[in-house]
Structure 1
């Protein structure tokens, strides 16, 4: 299954590239950023719906089962988002539209998803993070489109801003902090890290003895 993961990610990347090319063809009179943001909007909606179904219905619940083995549906969701983040990172680098902070955000997202897929665990938490970060994304894109079309300073713009602030505060900050607490409090996802730490400490404690022993043998 591990060998099939790069193929799934490649298919996801190709799908997002194809969608972007279609948007560019469909909206020739618009900028490339317009088409890219339509792709971003599409991913935001799909990722939010899929991650919500995985987290709230299919399970397992990330707040009570951190570090659990990845399910098939979780893997599909992560591959879908990983392909998108690779596409968006390449687009941002090519057109030089984003600063170092946004590029770092993309890299961290890519590394986090890749680590979960490679280890075969903790997809529940990563899926929850995707849900928390993408649930506000459609509203963020809506603000940009409203500004581009000159409709931002209206009742629609105020409604979009209101729900953006509410979701950002409640989900990203509130639920995000709760998820981080559950992750740090649970021993399961930290077990391997603790084992590696103790093994490192053990090797460090043996190094002086080995050096001294080798020094004595040389004499």
Structure 2
């Protein structure tokens, strides 16, 4: 890495930034739970990640091109800020006692993968594309929790949020995801990057299984839902 000092400065600054955003949310909405405030920050990260990742795509005819190439300066900044976010979020999950095996695996795989991409200064296209497809469904995930906390748990609005999240998650992670995993594995990428890609896809598959069960249950019991 060309400038370790700048790298650490951005990552540490990013952790402080995300932590400050969380504390500000807690102050602005004192009645909200710890978990919901954390999810609001996660939504902010997801929105910015999707926008910045989209901007960094060099050619939309081949969004993951060039494969196994040097990362652009913009890609490096995106990865540094996202690495800071995942470090912050992992600590928040631990403080909130919400650190299941699947959640821990997701965070560790993300941190190791992004860290490896920054260390190698390559695979920016693949990692940014992965960040894009993994974060694009996040706002809908957090919207579900917001509706629940505001008293709209068993409503058609909440069902719509559930279905929207499930559809976007499925298209992104179970349709585009396997293809992205395949091209990453096929290209001349470092073995660590390939292993991380496979690990993240396995986590996504496990979550897809859990989401499918929830959606199936809600569709079966939709007659008990009330209108908003």
Calculate the TM-score normalised by the size of structure 2: 0.77
1:111 deviates by: 0.6
Question: Could you list the per-position Cα deviations for residues 27-53 of structure 1 after superposition, in whole angstroms to 9, with x for gaps in the alignment?
Answer: 112222221111111111111111122
Q: Does 1:127 align with 2:136?
A: no
Aligned to 1:217: none
- Separation of aligned partners in 2, 1:52 and 1:156: 29
Mapping 1:16-35, distance limit 5 Å: 16-35=18-37
Mapping 1:65-214, distance limit 5 Å: 65-186=66-187, 188-189=188-189
- Separation of aligned partners in 2, 1:73 and 1:12: 15
- Separation of aligned partners in 1, 2:88 and 2:153: 28
Q: Which has the larger radius of gyration?
A: 1
CA RMSD of aligned residues (A): 2.2
Q: Where in structure 1 are there 5+ consecutive unaligned residues?
A: 194-219
Aligned to 1:201: none
1:191 deviates by: 9.0
Aligned to 1:204: none
- Separation of aligned partners in 2, 1:137 and 1:101: 16
Q: Where in structure 2 are there 5+ consecutive unaligned residues?
A: 194-228
Query: 4+ residue stretches of structure 1 with deviation over 6 A?
Result: none
